[in-house]
A and B are shown apart, each in its own frame.
Chain A
Amino acid sequence: MDQFILQILNGLDKGSAYALIALGLTLIFGTLGVVNFAHGALFMLGAFVAVTMSKLLTLSHKVVDETRTDFLGNPLQVEVPYIYDWFGQATGDVIIDWAVPISIIAAIPVMIAIGFIMERGLIKHFYKRPHADQILVTFGLAIVIQEIVKYLYGANPIPTPAPSAFVGSFDFGVALGFDPNAIIYPYWRLVYFFFSIGIIAAVFAFLQFTTFGMVVRAGMADRETVGLLGIDIDKRFTIMFGIAAAVAGLAGVMYAPINSPNYHMGMDFLVLSFVVVVVGGMGSLPGAVAAGFLLGILESFASMSAVIDFLPGINQIIIYLVAIIILLTRPRGLMGRKGVMEE
């Protein structure tokens, strides 16, 4: 039983990342009808916003410390972050420690801006082209973004720690009445899960309860009629693209402490996220979220040692296997809408 709960918990954080990326992909697909292969790159860019932020915060200058000497007897030079000068050492340390959550504030405008530039600069010209062309050009864009990041930050993963308040693990075993240490779960992953639930809820609330969201939903259902009513639907869709980019970016920012960001993490997630979107059903937002969590949890169940002993290698292929089965038995995915991408 404790094993069971542990695996569900383990699946949640990966599932959250899948769900967030798939949500963004579906938003773009549902509104603009574009298959965006560069969405994984946006996730990766988000993670690198966190990296950049923690680098910026620790940007420092050299100060000669008169009280200490180095081994040659000269006064020691120490690196002092600028942030100490501004806020004092104690506050400065806290700010540096909280670099990842702080970068959320920076990531939202940055990612929305990147989304706007992408949509207006490139993707706008591909609405009337076939889906294959859209896939190909965004695939090319993903390579370009990835290589630029590789050029700027190098090929090695860059560790980006979570705030020290979240280091360590929560002992679910005690809380649920099992043995201590039976189910331990890192705090940060818990934070990640609740954070993504929050984002998902915010996106749904935005679409459901605001006038803007209503118009967007109407546009998803029938773009032409909304246009005939005198609403500039293209502009709203562009904003939705920005929001989708921000969702992917935030997923990346918060993922940085879980896995050290490297330039190809976007591609690794993208392939799986596409599978998630297709399993959930193209164009269905709840489907994307549900499929994201479902596949994340299935993946961690498949990596239980009892399952691997029984079916070796199943943990590597479970997601693809499920995708194949669902695609063949339920052509529209779990919750796909009728008439979306059916050829």
Chain B
Amino acid sequence: MLKKIFNWLMQPIGLIAVGIAFLSVFSAAVYGISLTQQTPPQPIEFPHQTHVQFGIQCLYCHPGAAKGPAAGIPSQAKCWACHNQIEKTATSELLAPLKDAVLNGESIQWVPVAIVPDFVQFNHRAHVAAGKNCEDCHGDMSKVNIAENPQVMNMGWCLNCHIETAGEDQEKLIKLTDCGTCHY
């Protein structure tokens, strides 16, 4: 039985069938991986680029980054403070969800992009205080529209930077590579 199948597969038509099967599995895998690398759909296609070009600082909308663990995603009240003075807001189709949210008093369900798992305790404040700039981890927002991760945020990436930052300072290296610094 197995011999029969093998012989059939060794024919030209069998080889083509094997090729097609391999290609379809391979392309499905590539498609699956590419899905995980795409930026998630947001309720509003928020153009970071435009806002940065107007000279708005990161900390204006994400003030938590300098103070505590979470940078924070602004509520629509913060958007509205500027946008209710902008004529285009009333007519723009892209901004319709913002207008609806403000008029109905519902919050906009933004999808967080830069996230770490629950078992990682990340603190923005310590990183900002250590002299890290936002773009070191989040990429240059003046070049992207919808926020995306410039790199895979995994533990190897964290540790590389921690070891580099510690340098020759042994005490700092112990603190920055200690499991209990991030996992508890």
**Do these two chains interact?**
no
The interface of chain B, by Cβ under 8 A from chain A, is none
The interface of chain A, by Cβ under 8 A from chain B, is none
